[in-house]
Amino acid sequence: MVSKAVIPAAGLGTRFLPATKAVPKELLPLVDKPALEYIVEEAARVGLTDILMITGRSKTAIEDHFDRVPEIEAALEKKGDAERLARVQASSELAQMHFVRQGEAKGLGHAVLVAAPHVGNEPFAVLLGDDVVDERDPLLATMIAEQQAHGGSVIALMEVEPEWVSSYGVATVEDAESHGPYAVKRVRDLVEKPPPEEAPSNLAVIGRYVLSPTIFEVLRNTPPGRGGEIQLTDAIKTLAESEPVHGVVFDGRRYDTGDRGDYLKAIVKIACEREDLGPDFWAWLQEYVAAGGPASTR
């Protein structure tokens, strides 16, 4: 049974400076909700309501976001704004949140290792805050079901253009049995951020994992890898030598909100699809494009 989720949120957010000088990058909004709240919602939707966030210095605002705010709630109640009140309260009711600090920024593998005492001896999910998966696409539920069917660990893979492989962990795979909507592969090898000419495939690791607790023992013995950091990819590669590791090949909607261009695209898509804001925003967007986009004078 998978019941716990780990969300690493200790990164510095350098790509979004200066916006992230004082605001954690995980709290940058996608329209009016922080990216991180989408991630917590995704975990809670599949029953992972015990959530451990790995944070660091300057991240106290994350804890505040998932807490109650009596002053704001009282003000909204007084105004009779029930809808906004419900949205403010939602983040504190989603899950049972726990927080632990990473201490030193020694890489994603190290961040996951910090979760060991909380997770104990059961399989658990890891959700990376930069990857937002559309709620209509059941990636995490499928990964949990595949983990139950195959045992071991399950990672999420996605086909990317060959020029992008150097931004990801890249997998060597063989076909395996699928029990759900996505193709499933047996992972034979993994390499973290290879130069394009050395990449074994264009199947990139994206930010969802369902991991066997054996990963902690492997991480304790994983030396620093690419960038001098302890890489989760390297540990999963070692794990695959002794336990099954499968990859679910996702072909749905995913936004890399750690990339400024993708972050903007995510906001535009979410805004267009929102019932309250969508119709007006979509009409404006079409006018803006028709008027020449950046060349428009209105």
Residue 128 as a binder of ligand G1P (CB under 6 A): the answer is: yes
Q: Which of residues 201-220 bind ligand G1P (CB under 6 A)?
A: 204-207
Rule CB under 6 A: choose which of 26, 42, 130, 146 binds ligand G1P. Answer: 130
Cα distance between residue 194 and residue 190, in whole Å:
10
Residue 100 CA, chain-centre distance (Å), reads 18
Q: CB 23 → ligand G1P: shortest distance, Å?
A: 19
Cα distance between residue 281 and residue 274, in whole Å:
9
Q: By rule CB under 6 A, what count of residues binds ligand G1P?
A: 14
Contact segment (CB under 6 A) with ligand G1P among 69-77, 181-189, 225-233, 273-281 equals 225-233
Nearer to ligand G1P, 76 or 250 (CB): 250
Residue 233 as a binder of ligand G1P (CB under 6 A): the answer is: yes
Contact by Cβ (8 Å): 242, 232: no
Q: CB 226 → ligand G1P: shortest distance, Å?
A: 8
Burial category of 41 from C-beta neighbours within 10 Å (exposed 0-12, middle 13-18, buried 19 and up) = middle
Contact by Cβ (8 Å): 158, 251: yes
Q: CB 283 → ligand G1P: shortest distance, Å?
A: 34
Residue 192 as a binder of ligand G1P (CB under 6 A): the answer is: yes
Nearer to ligand G1P, 186 or 254 (CB): 254
Rule CB under 6 A: choose which of 24, 34, 138, 169 binds ligand G1P. Answer: 169
Nearer to ligand G1P, 84 or 193 (CB): 193
Nearer to ligand G1P, 37 or 192 (CB): 192
Q: Which phi and psi (to 5°) does residue 203 adopt?
A: -90, 105
Residue 191 forms beta bridges with which residues?
Answer: 170
* Count of residues making up the chain: 298
Contact segment (CB under 6 A) with ligand G1P among 41-49, 95-103, 181-189, 227-235 equals 227-235
Cα distance between residue 226 and residue 45, in whole Å:
34
- 3-state SS class at 184: strand
Cα distance between residue 203 and residue 222, in whole Å:
23
Q: Which of residues 237-266 bind ligand G1P (CB under 6 A)?
A: none
Rule CB under 6 A: choose which of 168, 216, 250, 255 binds ligand G1P. Answer: 168
C-alpha dihedral sign at 191, 194, 200, 201: positive
Residue 131 as a binder of ligand G1P (CB under 6 A): the answer is: yes
